[in-house]
Chains A and B, each alone.
Chain A
Amino acid sequence: MSDSGAVPPVLDLRGVTRVFGTTTPIEALRRVDLRVGPGEYVSITGPSGSGKSTLLNILGLLDRPTEGTFLLDGIDTLDLSEGRRSALRGERIGFVFQSFHLLAHRSALENVVCALLYRRGDRRDRRRRAAEALDRVGLSHRLDAMPPTLSGGERQRVAIARALVGGPSLLLGDEPTGNLDSVTTAAILELFDELHREGLTLVVITHDADVSARAQRSVRMLDGVLCDTEASAPLAVGS
C-alpha cells in the first residue's frame, strides 16, 4: 500500500469526476485533485451548488466517482465492494453532521456505542470506549442523558464523540456548526483545534468564513472545480 515505506496521504483524489444523470448529464465534480496528509486540518468552502456536498459524499465513501481514483489511507476505494466500503467507512471515517443525527430515544452513551456496533467487540468494551469518547468532548457527566434534554452544543459534542470513538483516520464535518449559535460554535471550533493539535486529520465543509479561517488549509469549490489555496490565507467566501 505505502510507497517505499512512507506514510500515504489520508485522502488522495486524482481526476475525480462525478456525473449525475444520463440524458442531460450534469458534472457535479470536474477532475478534482486533492491530497490531505495525516494531521492536516482542511476546510472546503464554496457557494451552494458548487459541488461541496458531492465531494463530501465521495470523501465519506457514501458515493463513488464516475471517473478518477480515490485512495483512503492508501487503499483504492473504487475496487471495493459495497460491504467493504461500509466497513472502511465505519472504521476510518468519523462523520459530524449539521443536524447531529442522534437517535432521539437512546442515551448519549448508546448513541456513541452505535458507531461501534458494526465491527468486532464486546459490549463492555464498547461502552468503555464510548464513555471515554464522551469524556474527551467534556460530556462525562451526561452519559445517560437523552438527546432531547441536551443543548445544541451538547448534542454536537455527542456526535463528535460518536465520530471519534472508532479511532478514525479522518473526521469529516458537514457544516458542523450550521445549527449552532456563535458561542457554541466557538466552543466546537476550539474542540476541533484541540483534536487537530492531537494529530487528527480533519476535513470540514462549511460556508462560514469563521470556520474555514480556523483551518490550516482552505480549499474552495466553484462549479464543480476545486481551487486549492495553500495555507490559511483569509478568504472572501461567498455563500
Chain B
Amino acid sequence: MSDAPTGRRSSRSRFAVRDLIGESIAGLLSRPGRAALTAAGTVLGVAALVATVGLARTAGNQIVTRFDELSATDVTVERAQVNGRVVGSLPWDSERRLTRLNGVRAAGTITEVDRGGALTRSVPINDPAEGDEFDLSVYALSPGAFDAVRAKVAEGKVFDRSHDDLPVAVLGPGAADDLRITRVAQQPAIFIGDQTFVVIGVLDDVDRRSELLTTVMIPEAFARAQYGTPSPGSVQIDTKVGAAELIGRQAPLALAANNPDLVKVSVPGQPKAVKAKVEGDINALFLLLGGVSLLVGALGIANVTLVSVLERVGEIGLRRAVGAARRHIAGQFLVESTLLGFLGGVVGASVGMVVIVAVSLAKDWVPVLDLGIPLLAPLAGAVVGLASGVYPSLRAASIEPVEALRGGV
C-alpha cells in the first residue's frame, strides 16, 4: 500500500507517555489555585502521618533511652532472706570481685550502719539551745558505690581507697541541707554521736538508691572498725548496656561461689519489650489519626477531580474528536490525580519533617525519623491520588463525545 490518503491503514490511536504526562501537567497548571487546594488535603494527611510517625518514634525514643539506659544497666545483689530473716552474707571484697567481671562498669557495697541511735550534728554542743541534732541514717560505702549509683558531686569529692581508715564523710544533699553545710573547702566537721567526721564532699544527685540523698556516707573500712558492721547490706552494680543479664547470672557465683543461693540478685526486665510496647501504643493511635487525615485528603482529590471532569466535558469531547480513545481520557485524569497526590505527598512529607524538628526543638528531644518515611510518603500520596482518580477517570472515559461537544464552552 502506498502512502496515498486512500491507502493509509487505520492504526490504533496512541498517546505517548511523555505527551500524557505533559497534557496532565498542563491540565493541572491551567488551574493552579485549584490544584493547590486539592492537593492540600493530601498535604495535610501525609504531613499528619509523617509527623505522627516521626514524633511517635522521637517521643518513644526519649522515654526509652532515659528509662532504659538506667534500668537496663542496674543490677543489685542483696543477702537472701528466708521468712523475713537474713540468712546469707556478702563478702567485704565484693567490689573487687565484681569489677573483675567483664560487663561491670562499676560496683560497690552499700550498707546501713547501726550507729546505736546516735544523732548527727554539725557543731559541738556548747549551748544546747542552739545546737541542731538530726536523726540521719549513716551508710557505709565502698568507693566504687558512688560510680555504681551514678552519683553527681555538688561540692568537694567522694572518698576513695586512700580514705579507707579515715573519719571522712560525704553528705547527701538532704543531709547537707539539714546540717547547713554548703561548702567543703574549710573541711567542716560533723559529729555522729561523739565521733568526728570531716566532710570532704556533698552530692548533688544520684540516679539509683535515692535513699542516699538524705544520708551521711562514710568509708566502709572505717565503719567496720568503728561500728563493727558485720557484712555488706547490698551490692550495687552498674553494668555495660546489654550485660545486665549476664552479670545477674555471674554475680552470685563471684560473691558466694560455695553457695550462690545465699544471695539474691535483681536484674532489670527486658528493655526491648518495654520499648516495643511504648512505641506500639503511641504508633497505633497516631497512625489511626494520620490514616483518617489521608482518607479525607483522598476524598478531597476524588471530589475535585470529579468536579473537574464535569467542568471539562467540552475538552473531553474535543480530545475524543481529535482521536483520543476512552483509555487516553481516563489515563489523563488518572495521571492528573496521581500527580496531585504525589505533589501532596512531597509537600506533606516536608511539612511533616518540619513539624517533627520543630516539636523536637521545643521539647529538647533528638528527632528520630526512619529514612524510608520521607521516601515512602510521596509514594503513598501518589497511591492516594491514583485511587482517588479511578472513579472520576472512569466517569470521564464514559462521557460520549456527542453529548460533550454539543454543550457550548
Chain A residues proximal to chain B, CB less than 8 Å:
1-2, 7-8, 53, 57, 60, 62-63, 73-75, 80, 82-84, 86-93, 95, 97-106, 110, 114-115, 117-120, 162, 166-167, 169, 174
Chain A interface helix/strand/loop/mixed: loop
B12 cross-chain contacts in A, Cβ below 8 A: 83-84, 87
Closest to B29 in A: A105
Q: How far is the CB of B10 from chain A (nearest CB, A)?
A: 5
Chain B residues in the interface with A (C-beta under 8 A): 5-8, 10-15, 19, 23, 26, 29-31, 314-315, 317-328, 400-402, 405-409
Q: How far does the Cβ of A31 sit from chain B's closest Cβ, in whole Å?
A: 21
Task: Contacts A106-B30, A117-B15 given; indicate if A62 touches B6 (C-beta within 8 A).
Answer: no
Closest to B324 in A: A118
B321 in contact with A62 (CB, 8 Å): yes
Report which of B7, B13, B327 forms a contact with A90, defined as CB distance below 8 A.
B13
Inter-subunit contact A105/B10 (CB<8 Å): no
Query: Which of A80, A86, A110 interacts with B320 by CB under 8 Å?
Result: A86
Known: A87-B323, A89-B323. A73 touches B6 (CB 8 A): yes
Nearest residue, chain B, Cβ from A88: B10
Q: How far is the CA of A74 from the CA of B5 in the complex (A)?
A: 11
Q: For the complex, what is the distance from the CA of A78 to the CA of B30, rounded to whole Å?
A: 37
Q: Is the CB of B6 within 8 A of A118?
A: no
Closest to B312 in A: A103
Q: Chain A's nearest CB lies how many Å from the CB of B223?
A: 90
CB distance from A87 to the nearest CB of B (A): 4
Determine if A87 and B31 form an interchain contact, defined as CB atoms under 8 angstroms apart: no
What separation, in Å, do the CA atoms of A97 and B408 have in the docked complex? 9
Is the pair A87, B23 in contact by a Cβ cutoff of 8 Å? no
Give the CA-CA distance A102 to B405 in the complex, in Å. 11
Bound state CA distance, A91 and B8, in angstroms?
10
- Quick check: A118 and B409 within 8 Å, CB to CB? no
Are A117 and B6 in contact (CB-based, < 8 A)? Answer: no
Minimal beta-carbon separation of A21 from chain B (angstroms)? 15
Closest chain B CB from A162 CB (angstroms):
7
**By CB atoms of chain A within 10 A, which of B12, B13, B407 has the most?**
B13
Cα A120 to Cα B19 in complex, Å, equals: 11
On chain B, the residues within 8 Å of A119 by CB distance are 11, 13-14, 323
- Within 8 Å by CB of B13, from A60, A84, A114, A162, lies A84
Are B5 and A62 in touch, CB under 8 angstroms? Answer: no
Whether the pair B409, A99 counts as a contact (CB closer than 8 A) is: yes
Give 5 closest A-B pairs by Cβ, nearest first: A90-B323, A105-B30, A87-B13, A99-B408, A118-B323
A74 engages B30 (CB within 8 Å):
no
Query: For residue B10, which residues in chain A have a CB less than 8 angstroms away from its CB?
Result: 75, 80, 84, 87-88, 91
Chain A neighbourhood of B6, CB < 8 A: 1-2, 7-8, 73-74
Residues in chain B near residue A106, CB distance under 8 A = 26, 30
Are A118 and B322 closer than 8 Å at their CB atoms? yes
Whole-angstrom CA separation of A86 from B11 in the bound complex: 9
